[in-house]
């Protein structure tokens, strides 16, 4: 009888041990693949092996500082895959190393993807700033995006930092069900075009509990953005949280289902904004809601701008062809550093429709008179306290 008990106990122990092993991701440590200083080749090799694994796998970049050249890593992979970055990755400073690349790190067609680890992606944008003339020449060659996510599905990026990108920090295209949580982005407020997260043609994206400071939009939503949730985000500095610009290109996909709530926006050029080009192409933006937002010393806290025309590339006299409908601004409070705290400038040909404004309390901190609420080509529905006085 005792022998049977011992055999059963051993069998159970072996079973549990086997189950634990299967539950653990197979780890592919990039430092085991070659040069520990420049890990470009090692990283790609580790990714290829992990992606080929039929069990859930993990590509590990341990603590330390590593140089990483431009890389493209792709799926589909045979099982769930995690990229765990514990160290600091540094992009090349010399722009010539990005010849033929539009981004530093590109991830393509990966399902069940996780990026985590507490590490940092350092774009070294400050060091390369003298190689960028985009502030003077609109036809310049664009610098590389730091992190490009193309057609990533069912994924999460959490506890990761992106710093000093040369261009956008993160760019999403064709993604679905992708969450960014505890994602920290830092760039100097004068760094050009360093949007924090730009979303295009993507669905079911969440950006939550994250700190974003840039030289451009903290978050920008391009055409085809649908069912986007932005919650618990701190934006400072930067140009705020923007939808658009829309209507610049033909056949743009609609924007819909945008929810921005419980955010704090500080010392930025704009707060929450919808922008479209005049005179060019059509499109639509609908079901957009901004709620429970604190503004601290923001130049333009609430904006609909349908005469957006940087570089004077269009005629401001012609009306925008983009339809804006079912938009709400609720419980937004704080301070504006310009007199026009709220500006709703809609298209004269396609006026904004179903715009709701409720419980707004924005105080102007300067000396140019009381705060103002300006409207054109829109008839908002007002509820609750409205300060400044409604248009």
Q: Which residues are catalytic?
A: 239
SS3 for the chain is: CHHHHHHHHHHHHHHHHHHHHHHCCEEEEHHHCCCCCECHHHHHHHHHHHHHCCCCEEEEECCCEEECCCEEEECCCCCCEEEEECCEEECCCCHHHHCCCCEEEEEECCECEEEECCCEEECCHHHHHHHCCCCCCCCCCCCCEEEEEECCEEEEEEEEEEECCCCCCEEEECCEEEEEEEEEEECCCCCCCCCCEEEECCEEEEEECCEEECCCCCEEECCCCEEEEEECCEECCECCEEEEEECCCCCCCCEEEEEEEEEEEECECEEEEEEECECCCEEEEEEEEEEEEEEEEECEEEEEECCCCHHHCCCCCCCEEEEEEEEEEEEEEEEECCCEEEEEECCCCCCCEEEEEEEEEEEECCCCCCCEEEEECCCCEEEEEEECCCC
Nearest Cα neighbor of 239 from 289, 299, 290, 292 is 299
Query: Token pair for residue 274?
Result: 């919808």
Q: Do residues 360 and 329 lie in contact, with contact meaning Cβ atoms separated by under 8 Å? A: yes
Q: Computed from CA positions of residues 44, 46, 47, 52, in that sequence, does the dihedral angle turn out positive or negative?
A: positive
Q: Do residues 225 and 197 lie in contact, with contact meaning Cβ atoms separated by under 8 Å? A: no
């Amino acid at each position: 009888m005792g022998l049977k008990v011992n055999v059963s106990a051993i069998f159970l122990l072996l079973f549990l041990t086997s189950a634990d092993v299967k539950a653990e991701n197979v780890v592919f440590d990039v430092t085991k693949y070659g040069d520990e200083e420049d890990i470009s080749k090692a990283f790609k090799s580790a990714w290829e092996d992990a992606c080929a694994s039929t069990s859930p796998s993990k590509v590990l970049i341990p603590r330390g500082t590593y140089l990483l050249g431009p890389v493209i890593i792709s799926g589909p992979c045979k099982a769930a895959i995690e990229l765990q970055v514990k160290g600091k990755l540094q992009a090349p400073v010399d722009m010539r190393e990005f010849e033929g690349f539009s981004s530093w790190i590109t991830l393509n067609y990966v399902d069940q993807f996780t990026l985590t680890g507490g590490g940092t992606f350092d774009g070294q944008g400050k060091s390369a700033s003298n190689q960028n003339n985009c502030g003077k020449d609109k036809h310049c060659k664009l610098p590389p995006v730091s992190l490009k996510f193309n057609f990533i599905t069912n994924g999460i990026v959490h506890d990761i930092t992106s710093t000093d990108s040369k261009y956008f920090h993160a760019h999403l295209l064709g993604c679905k069900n992708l969450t960014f949580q505890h994602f920290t982005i830092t760039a100097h407020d004068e760094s050009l075009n360093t949007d924090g997260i730009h979303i295009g043609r993507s669905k079911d994206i969440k950006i939550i509990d994250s700190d974003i400071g840039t030289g451009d939009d903290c978050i920008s939503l391009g055409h085809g953005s649908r069912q986007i949730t932005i919650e618990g985000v701190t934006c400072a500095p930067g140009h705020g949280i923007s939808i658009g610009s829309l209507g610049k290109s033909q056949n743009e996909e609609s924007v819909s289902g945008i929810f921005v709530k419980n955010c704090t926006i500080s010392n930025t050029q704009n707060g929450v904004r919808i922008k479209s080009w005049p005179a060019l192409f059509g499109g639509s933006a609908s079901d957009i809601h901004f709620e429970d937002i604190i503004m601290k010393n923001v130049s333009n806290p609430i904006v609909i701008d349908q005469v957006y025309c940087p570089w004077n590339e269009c005629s401001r006299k012609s009306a925008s062809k983009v339809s804006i409908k079912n938009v709400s601004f609720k419980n937004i409070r704080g301070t504006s550093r310009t007199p026009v705290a709220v500006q709703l400038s809609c298209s004269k040909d396609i006026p904004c429709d179903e715009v709701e404004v409720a419980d707004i309390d924005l105080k102007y901190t300067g000396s140019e008179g009381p705060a103002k609420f300006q409207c054109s080509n829109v008839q908002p529905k007002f509820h609750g306290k409205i300060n400044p006085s409604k248009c």
